[in-house]
Structure 1
Amino acid sequence: MNFVLPDFQRSRRHSNCEACKTMDIEQCQDVIYQFVLQLVHKYLPERALEEFQCLFFNYQQTDLNEETLKALFEMLFKKDRDAFHETLKRCCYILINNWATERYIDNVLKLVESFEEVNFDRPCGLLVRSRLNNWLKEFVESQDYQDLQLLVSKHKSEKKQTEESPKHWSERYTSYLLVFQYANPENPQEQQEIARTISNQLKCQFKFDLAMYIARSQLSNAPKNRFKNPTALGDSVLKLLKVIVANWDKFGYTHLAQSFLTAIPEFNFAQFKVALLKYVTFYGWMPKIQQKLEMRLSNYLDRLCKFDEDDALENSIILRTCNRTIDLITTTNGKTPSDLFVLLASQGSLLTLVITLARLILICPHARLHLEKRVAQLVQYYMDYPEEDCHWVVSFFELFNIIFTLYIDGDTQYSLLRNPNDDRPHRYRESLKNYQIFSQHRSELNYPLLLGLPTPSTLNTSIPDTEETYFDETLFREQ
């Protein structure tokens, strides 16, 4: 049974509550958290959502929330708006985390959307109710509520995937934007957990969709348009994927990273900076771009921690140096793209730019979180632009997604193998059109056999040594 006490009756009821008089803000928060935890563990989501709304939206007493309402009154009475926002946010994430785990996705969406249904102009006779109304409105207008919306955007898109209305291009990179939530130690633990979980789910889904698209789109009897392209790069993406695999295999980036790590243990910091400069700039760049990158990075590294150059090399120094190198290549202030990023990306070096970032992660995996923050900041900077005005940077994000899926996050090995059905003379073998991308799960699960693709034993595994193995920016203009 739900009822609203008259203003004077509720005020007198709370003012006579000895427990509330001695309850500090942390105790009030604990009472509310325990109440919400009780809701998710003992009641169906529909009842839990109703109780949540009675407490926070309507300031309404029910059979379950009497003590919790007293705690909320004390928080309102003490005018602690920040504590209220923190409490409300954490309660939302307690509900979302538990409901998402149990796959109550509709209730997660209803919870977030219900904030927009609150009538902030409703008359409030009691001062604390008016204060609650104002604080709710401020919460809905805050970054905290935008974070909630971002968190459930994955489920919204799944629910509305049959609708014709297009998504904003930045929504394709939600897995990176969520880094601001799960990497912020000031956020509630529940928020960090659910943000990290959803980010990983989005990455895994893209990895699976890309692997299936690569495998099935190469089947000779595959119907056109049957398999959805998970990228935004159009029909040329398969050719681009072959270029990526050919480049990675041709230059042996994984082996280079292993050789680099083997060589540096006895280096001091000054020697490491010299080696890092060669490692970043030596392979893959066009000569003019390579010179500009080498000059910028050399000057930057030379000034970095000048007084520590004779120090023995430690993991913390490697991490700090790789993080600063990532900053130089992406964004140095966390708000606007760096001059070097614009220079490299605008001169047709997108593929080498992304591969360079991936190679930094190969030698320093702990820099991954910092890199994802920088990528998310770039997405935030450009998201106000329409896609047609920043097509080149969208291509950068797509390449970043693809390369990190193929070579950093993946448990699948990709190879470029010659089509056994190609019986043309040897002089034609250098064309990428004669090759297929073969994917093999590292646990030796034979996906190609399951999908009816040729097996490695029937394919020529040589890598084509042609100009096609170098990235051409026009690939993006063939859509």
Structure 2
Amino acid sequence: MTSSDYQELLLYVTKFDEAYSHKWVQRYSSYFLMSQALDLNNSVEQRCAARIRAKILKDQFKFNLALYTARTHSSKLHTEPATNPTQLSDNLLKWVKKLLVRQGQFSYANIANIFVQQTQQQTYKEFKQSLRKYLKFSVTQPQIIQLIDGKLASKIDCLYVEQEAQALKSNLLLRTCNRAIDFLIMETKNKPSDLFIQLISQGNPLSFVLLLVKLILICPSAQVHLEKRVTDLLEYYKDLPESKGQWLLNFLDILNVALAIYAGTVQYNLIDNVPEVTKLNDDIYLKECRIFSLSQI
């Protein structure tokens, strides 16, 4: 593009990079760009340019993550080390393994597909009850289960009660997932939600991120709203010193990794390199598996 709108967008990106070059928030500029792409006050050209720029940054992150993951486990084949695209240090691989540990019929993607199929004929009221059970699936922390059954469930139960007798429709599914994301992150732009504060304080951002991933897996269109709410979160915390916001950076980096795996174009697979007998011990098996990144065909 050579339009003035595109040049204005480039100027915005440059100003953003310069303004936040010394701050941690600059590492998550793709979210701010997506916010620009969704802003109806911007011209069509500006929104398109912002979306393209955001996609470039996301694709670069996915590529760097895939390269880092592969080279970490094939150092003999590569003399040049890959750069970790997150701030999770070398523990990134551990988080990726945890995200991938459920494979086959109990994978998060497969459970999401089963949930979608089983709720297609439900009324909206029945769907909301099923959604609570789905979000609790594989959650082991009692505190998080209590929050899902308590505050989150009570908020979801109050959604669109006038439509509870109707069959679930795709637009109602999207609206519900969007509102659930609001409840989990920010209900307004003024401050993070109470649920966000409580969930993040549990000290396990991976479990929190997986709640968001579950929503995206049953309604991929809700990812747009998720990214918008993350942008609001970044705006709220942008002046927080990095030394005091490690808990937030961990959440953001794990979310980026999760979206790259579950909502991106890069597929991560566990490649066996161990005898069948080793698989009897899950811990040993997981450590002796190699994680490679494969482009989806």
Q: Same fold (TM over 0.5)?
A: yes
Aligned to 2:5: 93
Q: Does 1:415 align with 2:234?
A: no
In the aligned structure 2, how far is the partner of 1:427 from the partner of 1:377? 45
Distance in 2 of aligned mates of 1:227 and 1:363: 33
What SS does the aligned partner of 1:430 have? Answer: helix
Contact 2:144 2:199 in 1 (8 A): yes
> What is the SS of the residue equivalent to 2:101?
helix
State the SS of the aligned residue for 1:221. helix
Shift of 1:289: 1.8
| Count of residues in correspondence between the two structures | 296
Structure 1 pair 223–441 and aligned structure 2 pair: CA distance change class (3 A): closer
Could you tell me which runs of 5 or more consecutive residues in structure 1 were left unpaired when the two chains were aligned: 1-36, 41-90, 98-107, 113-145, 158-164, 444-479
Please tell me whether the aligned partners of residues 132 and 148 of structure 2 are also in contact (alpha carbons under 8 angstroms). Answer: no
- Superposed displacement of residue 285, structure 1: 3.7
Following superposition, the deviation at residue 316 of structure 1 comes to 1.5
CA RMSD in angstroms comes to: 2.7
Residue identity opposite 1:419 in structure 2: N
Is the 8 Å Cα contact of residues 331 and 374 (structure 1) preserved in structure 2?
yes
1:180 matched to 2:35? The reply is yes
Q: Distance in 2 between matches of 1:317 and 1:358?
A: 19
CA distance in 1, matches of 2:279, 2:13: 56
Residues 1:149 and 2:15 aligned together:
yes
Partner in structure 1 of residue 251 of structure 2: 396
- Normalising by the residue count of structure 2, what TM-score does the alignment of the two structures yield? 0.90
Equivalent residue, structure 2, for 1:439: 293
Distance 2:105 2:249 in 1: 26
Given that 1:147 and 1:181 are in contact with CA atoms closer than 8 Å, whether structure 2 keeps it comes out as no
Identity of aligned residues (%): 35
Task: Please report how far the alpha carbon of residue 167 of structure 1 lies from its aligned counterpart in structure 2 after TM superposition.
Answer: 3.9
1:425 is displaced (CA, Å) by: 6.5
Separation in 2, partners of 1:318, 1:426: 39
Shift of 1:244: 1.8
Larger Rg: 1
Equivalent residues of 1:328, 1:340 under 8 A apart? yes
Alpha-carbon separation, structure 1, partners of 2:94 and 2:186: 30
CA distance in 2, matches of 1:277, 1:363: 13
Q: Is the deviation greater in 391-400 or in 346-355? A: 346-355
Give 1:166 deviation, angstroms.
7.0
Tell me the equivalent position of 2:170: 315
- Letter matched to residue 314 of structure 1: K
Q: 1:272 to 1:246 in 2, by over 3 A?
A: same
- 2:79, 2:201 → 1: CA distance? 33
Question: Where do 5+ consecutive residues of structure 2 fail to align?
Answer: none
Evaluate the alpha carbon distance shift between residue 357 and residue 249 of structure 1 in structure 2; reply closer, same or farther with a 3 A threshold. Answer: farther
Letter in 2 for 1:315: S
- Which stretch shifts more, 424-433 or 311-320? 424-433
Pick aligned residue for 2:151 from 296, 299, 321: 296
- TM superposition shift of 1:264: 1.6
Aligned to 1:233: 88
User: What is the distance in 2 between the residues matched to 1:334 and 1:262?
Assistant: 34
Letter in 2 for 1:93: D
Calculate the TM-score normalised by the size of structure 1.
0.57
Q: 1:424 to 1:364 in 2, by over 3 A?
A: closer
Partners of 1:428 and 1:306 in 2: how far apart?
Answer: 48
Q: Please tell me the residue identity of whatever aligns with 1:381.
A: Y
For the 8 Å contact 2:5–2:46, the answer to whether it is kept is yes
Other-structure match for 2:200: 345
Q: Which amino acid aligns with 1:405?
A: A
Task: Tell me how far apart the structure 2 counterparts of residues 249 and 172 of structure 1 sit (CA, whole Å).
Answer: 34
Rounded to whole Å, the distance in 2 between the matches of 1:367 and 1:223 is 39
- Contact 1:285–1:352 (8 Å) recurs in 2: no
Higher relative contact order (CA 8 A, sep 6+): 2
Amino acid at match of 1:258: N
Is contact 1:285-1:349 (8 Å) kept? no
